[in-house]
Amino acid sequence: AVGFEDYLPVMAERLGEEGLMEELAAGFRLLMDPASGLITFHSLRRNAPLLGLGGMSDDDLRGMLAEGDFDGDGALSQMEFCVLMVRLSPDLMDQPRRWLDDAVAQASHFLFTS
């Protein structure tokens, strides 16, 4: 099994939202097939060693593609890639989730105690 360390929350904290999106876009360009503008199985296989994933099986790489392929075309668009990266980073959403929980608690307190 390939280990995965989640650096996205640290990157988000250091780079801010815009900087993180720029880094994700750069990662997408690194992995995409220049002819199609998509991350295909072949472009992922060719570029996987750049990410330290050279030992992954073809089935694992296909599984990664399938995980993020929302439109079913067998490849990842930049939007699908970015959504997948965020979905694979549960810690990235911890802070916004805490803010939302706090806001709901405050609203509930205000509505039900006033």
Model confidence at 10: pLDDT above 80: no
3-class SS string, the chain: CCCCCCCHHHHHHHHHHHHHHHHHHHHHHHHCECCCCEECHHHHHHHHHHHCCCCCCHHHHHHHHHHHCCCCCCCECHHHHHHHHHHCCHHHHHHHHHHHHHHHHHHHHHHHHC
pLDDT class of 53 with cuts at 50, 70, 90:
confident
Q: CB–CB of 85/24 below 8 Å?
A: yes
What would the pLDDT profile of 56-103 be if each residue is shown by its tens digit? 899 999 998 999 999 999 999 998 988 887 777 666 555 555 555 666
How far is 29 from 110, CA to CA, in rounded Å?
A: 48
Domain 7-112: top CATH class:
mainly alpha
Domain boundaries, the chain: 7-112
**Separation of alpha carbons 44 and 51, rounded Å:** 10
Model pTM score: 0.67
